[in-house]
Amino acid sequence: MHVTILVLIAIVLASCTTYQGSEIWKRQTCEQLIDADERARCLEDAMKPEKEYKEELEDAMKG
């Protein structure tokens, strides 16, 4: 649940910044998670290729 909220926040914030900047921010946020499984999922999501990230962002904006 927390990861989902963090990812949504990251997507919103990232739409206003560069991809690399948001990727760094997301990784730093993930590193703060205590649960190892949750942290691993978060890091996997944070390190998505830029193309995949942009496609997901466009889909999210469409609703």
Residues 1-40 pLDDT 10s: 677 777 777 766 655 557 777 788 889 999 999 999 999 9
- Asked if residue 43 belongs to a domain, the reply is yes
CB 30 within 8 A of CB 18: no
More confident residue, 7 or 61: 61
Q: Does residue 33 sit within a domain?
A: yes
User: For residue 7, what pLDDT is reported?
Assistant: 74
What is the token pair recorded at 54?
A: 């942009």
Domain-located, residue 59: no
Please report whether residue 1 resides in a domain.
yes
Question: Look-up: residue for tokens 């560069």?
Answer: 18
Domain that holds residue 33: 1-7+19-48
Q: How many domains does the chain have?
A: 1
Q: Where are the beta strands (DSSP E) in the chain?
A: none
* pTM, rounded to two decimals: 0.56
| Residue 53 domain-assigned (yes or no) | no
Distance CA 46, CA 53 (A): 9
- Please classify residue 38 by burial: count the beta carbons closer than 10 Å to its beta carbon, then call 0-12 exposed, 13-18 middle and 19+ buried: middle
